[in-house]
Amino acid sequence: QKEVEQNSGPLSVPEGAIASLNCTYSDRGSQSFFWYRQYSGKSPELIMSIYSNGDKEDGRFTAQLNKASQYVSLLIRDSQPSDSATYLCAVNRAGGKLIFGQGTELSVKP
């Protein structure tokens, strides 16, 4: 089992729809969770962090964390073509290192 697993893409949604990206992790001791966006040919950019169970909202983005189920998700409301990118889930390992999932490619169709 991989330490961090993301639902395989590519995920295609129409403009204006909600995009739902999912991630599971294996280490129950993980305390910090992050979502990164990576455009093709660019480096990852941190867009959301979440540390406690529940929802965290930032603009059109909502991160959801359920530690009991070892599950973290990212919802993108009113998806725009500019949201088309690969989204990486990252979970902290002991000592401050992050473990990244393989990424989910999102395509938002106009």
Partner 1 sequence: DVKVTQSSRYLVKRTGEKVFLECVQDMDHENMFWYRQDPGLGLRLIYFSYDVKMKEKGDIPEGYSVSREKKERFSLILESASTNQTSMYLCASSVRGYGYTFGSGTRLTVV
Alpha-carbon gap, residue 50 to 63, rounded angstroms? 7
A 10 A CB-CB count for 102 gives 14
Alpha-carbon gap, residue 51 to 64, rounded angstroms? 10
Taking the complex as a whole, how short is the minimal distance between the CB of residue 34 and partner 1, in angstroms?
Answer: 4
Taking the complex as a whole, how short is the minimal distance between the CB of residue 67 and partner 1, in angstroms?
Answer: 16
Q: Which residue has the tokens 């910090």?
A: 32
Alpha-carbon gap, residue 98 to 74, rounded angstroms? 18
Under the binding rule (CB under 8 A), the answer on residue 96 touching partner 1 is: yes
Alpha-carbon gap, residue 2 to 78, rounded angstroms? 31
x-or-dash pattern for partner 1, window 7-26, by CB under 8 A?
--------------------
CB 63 within 8 A of CB 50: yes
Taking the complex as a whole, how short is the minimal distance between the CB of residue 5 and partner 1, in angstroms?
Answer: 11
Among 44, 62, 64, 104, contact with partner 1 (rule: CB under 8 A): 44
Tell which positions 49-78 bind partner 1, by CB under 8 A: 49
Among 8, 26, 31, 66, contact with partner 1 (rule: CB under 8 A): 31
Q: Give me the residues that bind partner 1 (CB under 8 A), please.
A: 31-32, 34, 36, 42-46, 49, 88, 90, 92, 95-98, 100-103
